[in-house]
Structure 1
């Protein structure tokens, strides 16, 4: 009974974490609307440095020895790859799409990440691509088409640059999922995410340092703090710990709360106008991604027999 109640609790917390990520995109959109001097690059750099330091301090306080991992060259190389190829694109490109379009579009396009994971596993690990996967992929790209054009072939509702960075964000989401798949079994999520954030921040400084002339107003720092705390520190840990009690397939389904929260929040607070085709495209993408987690009954039975 206790394990069942724990599972229910962490299922709710995992859904809450996904919702927080969706809401944090709305905070980012509010920041970009507040001042043109606040850029995706500045927000990403600020989010990463603060979050990285806080997470490592938490890891140290919990006795997880965050500096010990730096002595292992193999683990260190994975952290560098995780930061530069996973965390950096998944956050920077996401905020670029928010600035160029809105939080709803950015979150929905990033939600396409599992298809890039599937393509990678199919090419490199010879994972069998099912008929359902192909149908889901077609459905998802029809959804993107409807979202980008409002269903009109001669009209783009989303700029090409927003679409481009949206797909790069989805690729980053795939990298973010795949790169730490082995190390996460041995290394605390606090340590992994903390160092990954700092590595990504260093990468951004090398590529293009941006400090900017940020308006020193309470609203700016309140919204920035919300992006860091509600959009990074709390949900990352909630989701990481949820995986101990909730099956990964269920967690993947709960990720749908992120685009739902961003879309509903955009409509309620940013007067986002969604046409019938936009809603249809959004639903198609959500259903298509969720369909990837459907397992055939014979596989489920086989798994139960193995257990």
Structure 2
């Protein structure tokens, strides 16, 4: 059975990462609405800078040989490129595209179908069995996200089909991002994996939306402060902690606890941006908090089942 202190660390990492992720989204919304910052420019610049900073931490504070060692093996190099493009950039771009065609509530709700997608995928691959624990946590997650982001109004889901398609693809990208990282993390430190994935994603997007074409001379000190928060806390630390948690938590647990992102986003929007908060949104908040506590304290799957699941993932 996994060491309890390691599991507690995993919970702390994913909760902190998801919280920063959500708050970073609220800060990004303020940049878009109040300062007309281009969405594509922000995605590109946050990935490039955050990625380079993570690689710098790895190089100067930890095992510097890992920074370039990942490229010496053709298999891991290819896996890293795929992870950077389909995982890191995939999550970022599809989410923003869904918002662009619809709204942030629907985009986030559809993205957090990822936990259910992961469990269904593992069931189809026969890497796990459906348990009551899975059914409870997935149900609480979906109910919580629905009420939290729609306040119980189904009419808010009436968005153009492109928004729904991009939102579902965002959920698929998040599920892929969570599962695909596991084998890489067994070989390299999370700083190396996440850092290079961000650089790869940001570099690829630069060909479509060159970051140097934006005039930054009009940026105020406040804008730079918000940008620093989004890049450091909402991107660098958020993605790093999320991936690092996979070393001590299962992909299902990490993705479910990641649903704290919309919770933190909504709460900061209410407190900071003074948006109204309805009764059903409090019901959604309670559902997500209940899911988190249930996941933290419920009995873990047997050691044998977890061992078989990990073995299957590594073989995939």
Trace 1:114-263 onto structure 2 (pairs within 5 A). 114-125=115-126, 127-130=128-131, 133=134, 150-152=151-153, 155-156=155-156, 159-160=159-160, 162-209=163-210, 211-214=213-216, 215-241=218-244, 246-248=248-250, 254-263=257-266
Give the aligned partner of residue 69 of structure 1: 70
Pick from 262, 274, 278: which aligns with 1:275?
A: 278
Measure how far apart 1:216 and its partner are: 2.1
For the Cα contact (< 8 Å) 2:22–2:265, is it kept in 1? Answer: yes
Give yes or no for the alignment of 1:43 onto 2:42. yes
TM-score, normalised to structure 2's length?
A: 0.75
For the Cα contact (< 8 Å) 1:107–1:262, is it kept in 2? Answer: no
Return closer, same or farther for 1:301/1:274 CA change in 2, 3 Å cut-off.
same
Trace 1:99-118 onto structure 2 (pairs within 5 A). 101-102=103-104, 107-118=108-119
C-alpha RMSD of the superposition:
3.8
Return closer, same or farther for 1:44/1:221 CA change in 2, 3 Å cut-off.
same
Return closer, same or farther for 1:148/1:47 CA change in 2, 3 Å cut-off.
closer
**Distance (whole Å) between structure 2 residues aligned to residue 224 and residue 92 of structure 1:** 18
**Distance (whole Å) between structure 1 residues aligned to residue 193 and residue 297 of structure 2:** 30
For the Cα contact (< 8 Å) 2:19–2:261, is it kept in 1? Answer: yes
Measure how far apart 1:170 and its partner are: 1.9
For the Cα contact (< 8 Å) 1:101–1:158, is it kept in 2? Answer: no
Q: List runs of 5+ in structure 1 lacking aligned partners.
A: none
Return closer, same or farther for 1:251/1:29 CA change in 2, 3 Å cut-off.
same
Residues 15-68 of structure 1, C-alpha deviations (whole Å, 9 max, x = no match) = 3332222211111111111233x2221111001110111112222222332112
**Distance (whole Å) between structure 1 residues aligned to residue 13 and residue 137 of structure 2:** 27
Give the aligned partner of residue 310 of structure 2: none
Give the aligned partner of residue 52 of structure 2: 53
**Distance (whole Å) between structure 1 residues aligned to residue 119 and residue 194 of structure 2:** 23
Return closer, same or farther for 1:144/1:14 CA change in 2, 3 Å cut-off.
closer
**Distance (whole Å) between structure 2 residues aligned to residue 118 and residue 21 of structure 1:** 23
**Distance (whole Å) between structure 2 residues aligned to residue 56 and residue 126 of structure 1:** 33
Return closer, same or farther for 1:116/1:6 CA change in 2, 3 Å cut-off.
closer
Measure how far apart 1:219 and its partner are: 1.8
Return closer, same or farther for 1:223/1:97 CA change in 2, 3 Å cut-off.
farther
Residues 66-91 of structure 1, C-alpha deviations (whole Å, 9 max, x = no match) = 11211211001111111111111222
Give the SS at the match of 2:201: helix
